[in-house]
Amino acid sequence: MHGPAYVPKTNFTRWLDKRLPIIRFVNDTITTYPTPRNLNFWYTFGGILTFMLGVQIVTGIVLAMHYVPNANLAFDSVENITRDVNYGWLLRFLHADGASMFFLAVYIHMFRGLYYGSYKEPRELLWILGVIIYILMMATAFFGYVLPWGQMSFWGATVITNLFSSIDQIVPHAGTAITTWLWGDFAVGDPTLNRFFSLHYLLPFIIAGVVGLHIWALHVPGNNNPLGIDVKGPQDTVPFHPYYTAKDSFYLCLFVLVYAIIVFYRPDFFGNPDNYIPANPLVTPTDIVPEWYLLPFYAMLRSVPQKLIGVLVLFGALATLFFVPWLDTSKVRSCRFRPLMKQFFWIFALDCVLLGYVGSQTADAAWHLGGFDLPLVWLARLGTIYYYAFFWVILPFVGLIERPKSLPQTIAQAVLGAGRSQPAPAE
């Protein structure tokens, strides 16, 4: 289903349309693209994410003009950017805090997709491309976290790259060889910083390419919606512009307002104080923790005492996301009409928050409950078990036993009320 065909109105647009139909492309994919009329606030984060990717790329390019990827100079170059480059402090905090805001938006986007069943047929590839973007974001964020070359940057790189050494337990010496290859030396140092800088610069452009595929895959079947039912006709849709461009712009402004408050008033809110100490291979920080958006997976890793199994649990948690479209056996997409699944979903959301909290604490932290101490590592283990159970047990079996509520016949019926009909607004 598409909106009215684009008709060039001037000599220039007719000339351009025959050679490079870019205005026709924008018209068909944005301006007149028919979109379900009931999309709510949670659907605005796709546009917000596109905006944040642009911010990260632009600020990153300018910062790269001043950054020096050398183990002896990197820390000072970041301080020089902050103190001496015109508006360097603004660029740095827009980029650093932008990463956290980027992940905040992507987590909301992913949980919305899970709640409304946006991964189900015919949108399986759309979901898979989204998971690929998420994993590329995690890799990019990790490489970027190393670049300031503070204490947490250095030791974070050491801990994460050392995970590959666990492969030695399967193939002797293979893990050590991979780790040494990643470092470019026999320890984290100058070659490591150089290659991480190169990858951190490269990956955002790869992400932008996959985002293009993601949007393309979205436009083939069209948007899902909070009801999780298919569009039945023109009465169920409105043109993307001006209805959703106006709506998305309003919520983007609110998001940018929060972003600006953090950048201007609490720029180190997401940061770690240890990263203001230059990297020192001879002094290990009291507790090594990643950025907040990686904490749930860090908690899973630490919850397993055996290194190799912990690494497999970590990467298995990410790999599981690729199979979600086939693990859910329910024919109903949206949790609005799945009372049992809705409860399990919110427990899952709380479970992810709990894992993030546990990952932020020290390895031997415990809750003191009267005369009893509850080690947080046991909470991490329970949280990890529920994470896997949600996808591999709950999703398949709840779909078989659950009795969903009845679905509306059309989107227009649900929006306008039973027995009423109204033509879609003029294009």
Phi, psi of 365 (to 5 degrees): -65, 150
The helix (run of H) or strand (run of E) holding residue 368 is strand 366-369
Q: Which domains does the chain have, with CATH numbers?
A: 1-28 (no CATH), 33-416 (1.20.810.10)
pTM summary value: 0.94
| The total number of residues written for the chain in this structure | 427
The confidence band for 76, taking pLDDT boundaries of 50, 70 and 90, is very high
Distance between CA 425 and CA 416 in Å, rounded?
Answer: 13
Q: Give residue 418's pLDDT.
A: 55
Give which of 169, 203, 199 is closest to 182, Cα–Cα: 199
Region of residue 348 (left: phi > 0; alpha: psi -120 to 50; beta: else): alpha
Indicate the burial class of 287 (C-beta count within 10 angstroms; 0-12, 13-18, 19 or more). middle
Q: Are 279 and 288 in contact (CB under 8 A)?
A: no
Instruction: Say how many C-beta atoms besides its own lie within 10 A of residue 179's C-beta.
Output: 21
Q: Are 66 and 85 in contact (CB under 8 A)?
A: yes
Q: Give residue 125's pLDDT.
A: 98
Q: Give residue 370's pLDDT.
A: 78
**Per-residue pLDDT reduced to its tens digit, 325-377:** 999 999 999 999 999 999 999 999 999 999 999 999 998 899 988 778 899 99
Distance between CA 97 and CA 106 in Å, rounded?
Answer: 14
Distance between CA 275 and CA 268 in Å, rounded?
Answer: 11
